[in-house]
């Protein structure tokens, strides 16, 4: 499930990079933020519904993704 979610996120970002009207930096930051939030929700769902991933590993993933969101918010403030 984790690989599927990460693959979908990567495909989404790749498609956005090849569109004819490139998105602005602010739009990219918002899209990356939404994708990261979706991944966090998926990891939390896996943690409660599936025993194949340990709680410690899922907490590490969530912590790292929250760090990414924090950095994206810093970028968004810079571009506003």
pTM across the whole model: 0.60
Going by the DSSP 8-state scheme, the letter that residue 20 receives in this structure is S
Q: Would you call 28 exposed, middle or buried from its count of C-beta atoms within 10 A (0-12, 13-18, 19+)?
A: middle
- Per-residue pLDDT reduced to its tens digit, 8-46: 666 666 666 555 566 787 888 888 888 888 888 888 887
Instruction: Report CA-CA distances (Å) from 37 to 19, 25, 63, 79.
Output: 23, 18, 12, 20
Q: Are 69 and 33 in contact (CB under 8 A)?
A: yes
């Amino acid at each position: 499930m984790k690989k599927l979610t990460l693959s979908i996120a990567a495909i989404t970002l790749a498609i956005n990079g090849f569109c004819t009207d490139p998105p602005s930096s602010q739009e990219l930051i918002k899209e990356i933020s939404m994708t990261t939030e979706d991944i966090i929700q998926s990891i939390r769902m896996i943690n409660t519904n599936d025993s194949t991933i340990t709680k410690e590993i899922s907490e590490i993933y969530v912590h790292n993704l929250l760090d990414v969101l924090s950095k994206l918010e810093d970028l968004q403030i810079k571009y506003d």
